[in-house]
Amino acid sequence: MMHFYTEMEGWTTLFSDIMVGDYDQESIKLIFEKPIENGFAHGELMLPDMTWNKQLSMTEDDVFYLEQYALDNSPLIWELSREGNGCLQ
């Protein structure tokens, strides 16, 4: 399930519930979207790896800004995601 996080500098940020993969590694998907002239710029970034699954109509500046934004906000995003899963006590 995806959850709204913020709107900042024209970008809307969504985050997923915590996903558990191989070797019980936890991850969260961040989705960034911004309206542009002919549609949307879109990106999907995985935490904690900081790897991009998708980048559509994004500039290098967008990628740099969003990576820094994700790093700065990742502690709160993890906490919110844990709350959504009922894991935070």
Residue pLDDT, tens place only, 12-41 = 999 999 999 888 999 999 999 999 999 999
| Cα separation values, 80 from 64, 85, 86, Å | 24, 9, 10
In 3D space, the residue among 11, 17, 1, 20 whose CA is nearest the CA of residue 70 turns out to be 11
- Residue positions counted in the chain: 89
What's the pTM value of the predicted model, to 2 decimals? Answer: 0.88
The predicted-structure confidence for 36-57, as pLDDT tens digits, reads as follows 999 999 999 999 999 999 999 9
